[in-house]
Amino acid sequence: MKHLLMEFVKVTEKAAIASLEWIGRGDKIKADGACTAAMRSQLNQIKMNGVIVIGEGEMDEAPMLYIGERVGTGEGPDIDIAVDPLDGTNLVAKGQGNSIAVIAAAPRGKLLCAPDIYMEKISVGPEAVGCIDLDVPVYENLKNVAKAKNKRVSDLRVMVQERERHEYIIDEIQRTGASVILFSDVDVTAAIAPAISELNVDMFIGIGGAPEGVVAAVALKGIGGELQGRLLPQDEKQYGRCLQMGLENPHKKLLMNDLIKTDDCIFVATGITDGILLKGVHSTYSGKKVTHSFLTYGGSKGYQFIQSFHHSPCYVF
């Protein structure tokens, strides 16, 4: 997988560049469609037998790289791929920050095939691996993370998505004296944040999309962090969808090796609008497109940022 890492960087860069003309124009569907078309085109140039196992668009009826779609030239390694060509469609439509193009990949059968339903999630960085548990109260997790990081609970900073469903979590965190950092969208970035020391985040917790949970787990596999998740099917149809996708116990607590079963995996995100992790795509006065990407390879215990200047049709890194 590692030899394909830069090929996947080109995929998210192309998607980000395709979004540029749609930033702030109020049309999330056209923005997503442009990113999806660009991502599909670039994926089909890679020498691989790829299959989309986590696609985008099931919930919001956006243009899709659909589950089961085959991508690549058909020659080369068998690879499962999770994509979100535009994570943060509303952000792009409104010209707001933190939207990204994101992809994760692993050898066939190694990524959890998660349906597009809700997932309960908690994540930490390398220093606190082994100190979180979805089955214990929020305070217990905070206490254990604080101990692992040699901090007071009141010194912790926790990322939570600003949603009504999270009010009880926010109250519980603040009662301990810890700080809450609210964000509006793109919980892939928020789940990764505790593993990026420069962001000064200690933990992420909340309920978001299941596909995003798997994608974030791939990133944390590379950085050395930890994510736990639990699917939350809302009705019999969603429960049946879980069973159909091979999840025998949809309510099972999912650990890292349930979400991503190998170290041989890659994660790439490219910024679309400026955010806490990445700078957004932009044009220079000379007409060059500039992208900023984050990438990691499973088991590397590290990550890279790449700023690219695009002189169409060439890439300069």
- Known binding residue 25? Answer is no
**Residue 213 structure tokens:** 């949970």
- Known binding residue 187? Answer is yes
Cα of first residue to Cα of last residue in the chain, in angstroms, is: 20
- Known binding residue 89? Answer is yes
Give the pLDDT band (50/70/90) at residue 299: confident
- Say yes or no to pLDDT of 286 above 90: no
Question: What pLDDT digit, counting tens, does each position of 190-224 carry?
Answer: 999 999 999 999 999 999 999 999 999 999 999 99
- Known binding residue 118? Answer is yes
CATH topology for the 2-108+265-311 domain: Fructose-1,6-Bisphosphatase; Chain A, domain 1 (3.30.540)
- Known binding residue 116? Answer is no
Question: What pLDDT digit, counting tens, does each position of 38-66 carry?
Answer: 999 999 999 999 999 988 645 444 457 88
- Known binding residue 40? Answer is no
The pTM (predicted TM-score) of the whole model is 0.93
Mean pLDDT computed over 86-104: 96
Separation in Å, CA 298 to CA 52, 183, 228, 239: 19, 27, 17, 30
Question: What pLDDT digit, counting tens, does each position of 225-253 carry?
Answer: 999 999 999 999 999 989 988 888 999 99
- Known binding residue 241? Answer is no
Q: Are 54 and 27 in contact (CB under 8 A)?
A: no
Cis ω before 233 (30° cut-off from 0):
no
- Known binding residue 74? Answer is no
Helices 5-19, 28-43: axis angle to 10 degrees equals 150
CATH number of 118-259: 3.40.190.90
- Say yes or no to pLDDT of 22 above 90: yes
Closest Cα to residue 176, out of 148, 204, 157?
157
- Known binding residue 88? Answer is yes
Q: Are 80 and 107 in contact (CB under 8 A)?
A: yes
- Known binding residue 263? Answer is no
As a whole number of angstroms, the distance between CA 199 and CA 6 comes to 25
Domain parsing of the chain, residue ranges = 2-108+265-311, 118-259
- Known binding residue 83? Answer is no
Q: What is the DSSP string of 152-196?
A: -GGG-EEEEE--GGGHHHHHHHHHTT-EEEEESS-HHHHHHGGG-
As a whole number of angstroms, the distance between CA 227 and CA 216 comes to 8
- Known binding residue 189? Answer is no
- Known binding residue 291? Answer is no
- Known binding residue 285? Answer is no
